[in-house]
Amino acid sequence: MKKLARKLESTYLLLTADIRVKMMQMKRLIGLSLLTLVALVLGFASMPQSARAGEALAGAGSTFVYPVMTKWSYEYNKKTGVKINYQPIGSGGGIQQIIAKTVDFGASDAPLTADQMKEHGLIQMPDTSGGVAIAYNIPGVGKGLKFTPDLLADIYLGKITNWDDARIKAINPGMKLPNFPIIVVHRSDGSGTTFIFTSYLSDISPEWASKVGHSISVNWPVGIGGKGNPGVAGFITKTRGSVGYVELAYVLQNKMTYGPLKNKEGVFVWPTIASSQAAAATVKTIPSDFNIMFVNAPGKDSYPIAGFTYLIIYKHQTNPAKAHALLNFVHWVYTAQGQAMAKSLDYVPLPPSIIRQIDQQLKEVTIK
């Protein structure tokens, strides 16, 4: 009997030590509280879905929002244990993926129409906004090259092909522009950044509007394509004579050369948080579907190429665990902490009025 007791005691100690080791490993991996760890070890299935950490969410879409989405995902995982796998495949791909139900949320800089949302049972909401900068790599030319709307349109139409063109010189008299060919760079994938950029060109150039138009993907008259904002930014950085449109966060993070653009009031304005915010502030009425564009906005402080980026989710959720985790994350994005992270990465935080409207829309989401 004594041998049996000693054996049972030894087995008990080994089991409890093993449990403690596993709990410590789990705690290091996902940062759970001790109470939650005990519940997981003992298999407490009764714990509310919204309290469970370690849930995994999948998202895909916009490269425009990728830097801040990466930050949000990392910080939210540290806070809750919920892992968010986001693939920056472009807005077009994000829309396709959410419609195909292969991800839990999509992200797009091009808003869906009311008909699209109704057809697929989706809702969209802006999560931040920002400017699209005109970046370039011109031998011997530093930051600050000025662009006008007609100049930019004609470069992308292939009508201006050299950097020492008389029209470029006329608005940049203090710069020594080389006799060097212009290499136009654009997106090769379905892109919300392209949607914003081509919407701007369509607004300021009747010729562009009639020949090319605006969409997430267009038939470019000239140029070379790069995949995603990172692809375009990388191409410009490595290629002398190139020019392209890139989301501001990528331009700043990669220390790219860029310049101001003449706005609707005739003022040359740099892409910044403040100038993009000034453009967004010109929108006085927010529709229920948040389908909003504010390119070429009025106001002397407004940067002309700016827009919202959107989160897209299903209005009727069928997986309770996923739904709770997703809605908790979405709500967190609109907290002061979430929006401050956007600002720290050169995105424009949303005004309280829009966040209140988003909160009301999220109340319409059902979970079965």
CATH of the domain at 99: 3.40.190.10
Q: What angle, 0 to 180 degrees and rounded to 10, lies between the N-to-C axes of helices 192-204 and 149-156?
A: 120
Cα–Cα distance between 227 and 235 in angstroms, integer? 10
Determine the average pLDDT of the residues in 301-320.
97
pLDDT level of residue 179 (50, 70, 90 thresholds): very high
First to last CA, the chain: 56
Going from the C-alpha of 61 to that of each of 90, 163, 201, 267, the distances in angstroms are: 5, 34, 23, 34
The pLDDT of residue 33: 37
Same domain assignment for residues 75 and 56: yes
Inside any domain, residue 4: no
Report helix, strand or coil for 139.
coil
Look at residues 269, 291, 306 and tell me which one is the last residue of a structural domain: 306
Same domain assignment for residues 85 and 164: no
Inside any domain, residue 148: yes
Cα–Cα distance between 309 and 192 in angstroms, integer? 8
Same domain assignment for residues 198 and 317: no
Tokens describing residue 215:
């969409």
- Looking at the chain, the whole-number percentage of residues with pLDDT higher than 90 is 83
Inside any domain, residue 3: no
- Domain extent, residue 167, equals 131-306
Same domain assignment for residues 251 and 140: yes
8 A C-beta contact, residue 28 and residue 295 = no
Going from the C-alpha of 210 to that of each of 126, 161, 206, 214, the distances in angstroms are: 29, 21, 6, 10
- The dihedrals phi and psi of 358, each to the nearest 5 degrees, come to -65, -40
pLDDT tens, residue by residue, 85-113: 999 999 999 999 999 999 999 999 999 99
Total domains present in the chain: 3
Helix (H) or strand (E) holding 234: helix 228-238
Same domain assignment for residues 155 and 24: no
Q: Is the pLDDT of residue 74 over 50?
A: yes
Look at residues 288, 306, 324 and tell me which one is the last residue of a structural domain: 306
Inside any domain, residue 1: no
Could you identify the residue written with the tokens 């990466």? 70
Same domain assignment for residues 175 and 289: yes
Q: What is the pTM of this model?
A: 0.83
Could you identify the residue written with the tokens 């697929």? 120
pLDDT level of residue 63 (50, 70, 90 thresholds): very high
pLDDT level of residue 53 (50, 70, 90 thresholds): low
